[in-house]
Structure 1
Amino acid sequence: MKKSRPRSLQWVLVRRLILLQAASFVALIVLLVAILMIAQPRLIIDNEAAIKHLSEAVARDENGGLLVRDTEELRAFREDFPNLWFVIRDADGHFVQEGSIPAAYEAAGGELLKNIGRATLRFDEGDRRPEAALANVDTDVGPVQILTSSISSRDENDGLEVEISVNADMAKDANGNPDWLRVLPVLALLILCLLLPIIVVMGVATLVTTPAVVRRSLAGLVATADQAGRIDIDNRAVQLETAQVPTEIAPMVHAFNNALSRLDEGYDQRNRFLTDAAHELRTPIAILRTRAELLQEDPQSARLRKDIERLSHLAQQLLERQVLEHSAGSREVVDLVALAKTLAADFAPLAFEAGYELAFEAEATKPVPTSIHVQQIEQAVANLLRNAVEHGGNRGTITVLVDARGGIEVHDDGPGIPHDERERVFEPFYRLRPRSSGAGLGLNLAREIARLHGGRIDILYGSWSGARIRLQLPVLDVNHPAILSTASA
């Protein structure tokens, strides 16, 4: 079964927002088309409306001349546009005019204007004379020419003049009806040309801005996730911040913080239990050791004392392991060369008693300063030395080597550590040889100490015989403030 890939919340939101905007845009177009189909509006600007009303109101008198009847529509239009003027002519030279007619239009006429169906007359920009509309229309009294305007000067407008002119001439059949088979493709292309720029602009804006908006909205959540990724066993009491987290995600963050608190409390309870147990074990072990020393010297009593010693060592390592994270005191700047040399000298009697020779080598010609908890590092190196004594085969030389890079190596001439066991030997209570007298906690405790100091422990492999384990610690720069203050003191 193919494992499904996790979906990106950011791109899910972006995709859904884009689809929502596209659906809204389509719905808006459909709604506008429906409104236009139902309302069937007629868009008529002022001058065109004047022509319409005048053509409906024009009539002839008893002598065949032209006159304009005072219709209700024309009366209402005059109330809205009190500066209305017009000139109406027919083919026989009759005319009727009204209002303050600009001089430029008063003499308008001629054969050219008679052949024009409809026109808008305007002057150059800056000319104060008004724009007028001219139309040759068929009326009840025959064809007439109407020249009119709703204003007598451009100064009479409201400060902003907007003109929208749309001319649509559709193909028609022999009966004068629209030929939709020819009109619809062109109309669809026209609509596409009008809407495509809007769609492109909206699409580009959506693709560019929406991810940025979503990413900015989720920035607090990303920061909280980064903070959660930095939580480990050393800072498990940290609580995730919720100030920048979206309201919808805040309950999950609070639940995660509560889970961290419960885990921290359970971890502390377990540590307290193991620490108390290790403390309690020390008393009966001490009693057993005292009673064993009173027994007669024989192989059984010697073996019993050895088992008691192993049990005491196990209880001590358990106690050291549990109190490791709560070690009191600040770090000290020490010279690794001097520290390792002192530890080698302290372990010399134990190594000699077990049948080994002990050597100390310092590759560094100068002090190697490092900031450490001295007791913890002494304990880690001591565990490496005990491991060498335990597994070195009781022969050869145990060598303690220090180099200028901050490394302390412990070598022995024993059988060594198999390559496939190099990680398992650091597991708690794992023993390379089941019958070994060790407790299986020494290397695990040494690695934990190195980790707390920002270092590591590695098992080295090469053409040599025996085991070589290296404790690597950070080395301070010679210009470090702690070193300078020590030197000045």
Structure 2
Amino acid sequence: MKLFARDSLRWKLVWQLLAFQAGIIVLLALVLTALIIRSDIGGMLADPQAIDLVSHAVERNQEGSLVLMTTPELAQLRAKAPGLWFILRSESGEILQDGPVPDIYSILSTHLDRISFVDIRDKASPYVLSAAGRTTESTAGTLDVMVGGVPLIEASFAVLFLSNLLLFLVLVLVALIAVIALPWIVGRAFKELSAVAGDAERINIDRRGARLAHAGVPLEVRPLVHAINDALERLDRGYERHRRFILDAAHELRTPISILQTRIEAMPTGTTQTRLCADAGRIAALAEQLLDLQRIDRNDETFSRVDLVVLCERVAADLAPLSIASGYQLALDTDDRPVFVMGSAGALERCVINLVQNAIEHGGQRGDIIIRVGPGGVIEVSDDGPGVPLAEREQIFEPFYRLHPRERGAGLGLNLVKEVMSRHGGHVTVLDSLAAGACFRLTMPAC
């Protein structure tokens, strides 16, 4: 999954929340700016950077007294601010001052140790009373410094800059929280949805009655889960009605089909009787296939040891009249040695019957249909017909698929064969027969 997928709900929430927070902070900054501009803050602030320049220029001489060194930074400051003055006091009470200190501040020199932070604004030009005081650390020790006569900063601008800087830092912090914490929070909130999606992937026609769990699912998503469960309930009811209808119809058809076949067999032998017999056989086969669908769906057949040779002999005997009536010669090729597999005798017999009926239907009404039983649980049913195109050898096992749309049959027989083989741990494949027709091979684990 892409980290910033366009359709990701997680990142949609992150970007929308981030945009909302940024908008709120920008709006707050604008309101704050307007209030500062309209408020009467007034006055000019002394640049507090001068305090660091002065404290770094103070050292102690050999006698241990405070002395002021003319550092390049201090010289540059004096060139920029000729009226520079300062007062500083050490922890031991030593006082050092320089420049035109206003009389009002000279009094503070003895009490400077009691002032750790001060910004004094002068509201009248030329703002000579604007001053700044801080307690700083220098090579001469801890100093309490007050400076004035330095470059000035408009108070409104300073407040505006600091307040907007604070808002910017808040925006950065909020953005980090949104980008880092929110995806994690959303991921934890949607963790149960992954489990629900896994349950949904496992639901198929063989697991009817399964429903999606809603425990732990976020409240906002529960209506969707309930709607899906209701839809599954409706599908199950519809499928059950459909299954019962097919089962009832197939059962009801068996009796009239048997009567029809009996009456056709009693007719005088001829072309009409042969065709009617073949048509009745196809109808009977369709009814049995519908019943097979229900048997496979119930999956209640028990497995036992089955002899494939005996099974194929029984199929050949049952379908010989139908194949002969349809113009074929039905033959059984086996070594007469038993070939045992574990499975459902009824289901495997219906597989072979479906393959033989498929050969009767598509073999061109000529040639031979051969049932071969080989060692290792292999059964082959081959014919002399046109065969199956290579491109369609996988599709013919899909339900209701027919090679030719107008051909007779419902397209269920081969799908039933595939399903039965799957339940027996085997598979069915299509090969070219020796006579260029089709050859269907059933392979099952021998026992």
Please state which band the TM-score falls in when normalised by the shorter chain: 0.5 to 0.7
Over the matched positions of the two proteins, sequence identity in percent amounts to 35
Are the structure 2 counterparts of residues 373 and 18 from structure 1 closer, same or farther at C-alpha, using a change threshold of 3 Å?
A: farther
Match of 2:416 among 426, 437, 445: 445
Aligned counterpart in structure 2 of residue 345 of structure 1, from 292, 310, 313 = 313
Partner-residue secondary structure (3-state), 1:22: helix
Aligned partners of 1:384 and 1:469 also within 8 Å? yes
Deviations 1:294-323 (A, max 9, x none): 444444344334433332222222222234
Alignment partners' CA distance in 2, 1:438 and 1:308 = 12
Residue type at the aligned position of 1:15: W
Contact in 2 for aligned 1:275/1:323 (Cα 8 Å): no
- The equivalent of 2:134 in structure 1 is none
Could you report, residue by residue, the CA deviation over 1:279-301 in whole angstroms, capped at 9, with x for unpaired residues? 22222223333443444444434
Displacement of 1:235 after TM fit? Answer: 1.5
CA distance in 2: counterparts of 1:273 and 1:328, whole angstroms:
20
Runs of 5+ unmatched residues, structure 1: 43-108, 124-128, 152-162, 477-482, 484-489
Q: Is the 8 A contact 2:329 2:369 kept in 1?
A: no
1:383 is matched with 354
CA separation in 2, counterparts of 1:302 and 1:399?
A: 23
Counterpart residue identity of residue 359, structure 1: D
Of the candidates 122, 133, 144, which is equivalent to residue 107 of structure 2?
144
Q: CA deviation at 1:243?
A: 0.9
Aligned to 2:397: 426
Q: Aligned to 2:188, which of 195, 216, 227?
A: 216
Indicate how the Cα distance of structure 1 residues 190 and 28 shifts in structure 2: closer, same or farther if over 3 A, else same: closer
Distance 1:380 1:41, change over 3 A: farther
Correspondence 1:253 to 2:228: no
TM-aligned CA deviation for residue 373 of structure 1 = 4.2
Q: Is the 8 A contact 1:424 1:430 kept in 2?
A: yes
Cα distance change, pair 215–275 in 1 and its aligned pair in 2 (3 A): same
Matched, 1:414 2:385: yes
CA distance in 1, matches of 2:121, 2:372: 103
Q: Which has the higher contact order (CA 8 A, sep 6+)?
A: 2
Residues 149 and 466 from structure 1, CA distance in 2 versus in 1: closer, same or farther, beyond 3 angstroms?
A: same
Answer yes or no: is the 8 Å Cα contact 1:392–1:413 preserved in 2: yes
What TM-score do the two structures reach when normalised by structure 2? 0.64
Distance 1:374 1:249, change over 3 A: farther
Partner amino acid for 1:391? Answer: H
Residue in 1 aligned with 2:257?
285
Q: Structure 2 matches for 1:73-222, cutoff 5 A?
A: 117-119=86-88, 121-122=90-91, 138-139=103-104, 143-148=106-111, 165=117, 200-222=172-194
Match of 1:469 among 433, 436, 440: 440
Matches within 5 A, 1:12-91: 12-30=12-30, 38=39, 40=41
1:25–1:422 Cα change, 3 Å: same
Q: Any idea what the Cα deviations from partners look like across 1:182-201, whole Å, max 9, x if unmatched?
A: x97x9999888777766555
Q: How many Å separate the matches in 2 of 1:409 and 1:426?
A: 16
Residues 287 and 386 (structure 1), Cα distance of their counterparts in 2 relative to 1, 3 Å cut: closer
Change (3 A) 1:339 1:386: farther
Structure 1 position 10 matched with structure 2 position 15 = no
Q: Counterpart in 2 of 1:358?
A: 332
Preserved CA contact (<8 Å) 1:456 1:471? yes
What is residue 72 of structure 2 aligned with on the other side? Answer: none
User: Does residue 322 of structure 2 align to residue 322 of structure 1?
Assistant: no
Q: CA deviation at 1:325?
A: 0.7
Query: 3-state SS of the aligned residue for 2:367?
Result: coil
Change beyond 3 A, Cα 1:249–1:180: same
Task: Give the residue type in structure 1 aligned to 2:227.
Answer: A
Partner of 1:225: 197
Inter-partner Cα distance in structure 2 for 1:434 and 1:260: 33
Contact 1:356 1:398 in 2 (8 A): yes
Q: Distance in 2 between matches of 1:166 and 1:145?
A: 12
Structure 1 residues 288 and 355, CA gap change in structure 2 (3 angstroms): closer
Q: Deviations over 1:41-78 (max 9, x none)?
A: 99xxxxxxxxxxxxxxxxxxxxxxxxxxxxxxxxxxxx
CA distance in 1, matches of 2:184, 2:116: 38
Provide TM-score, normalisation by structure 1: 0.59
Contact 2:308 2:340 in 1 (8 A): no
Quote how far apart the aligned CAs of 1:251 are: 1.0
Distance 2:162 2:374 in 1: 85
SS in structure 2 of the partner of residue 246 of structure 1 = coil
Q: Distance in 1 between matches of 2:339 and 2:274?
A: 45
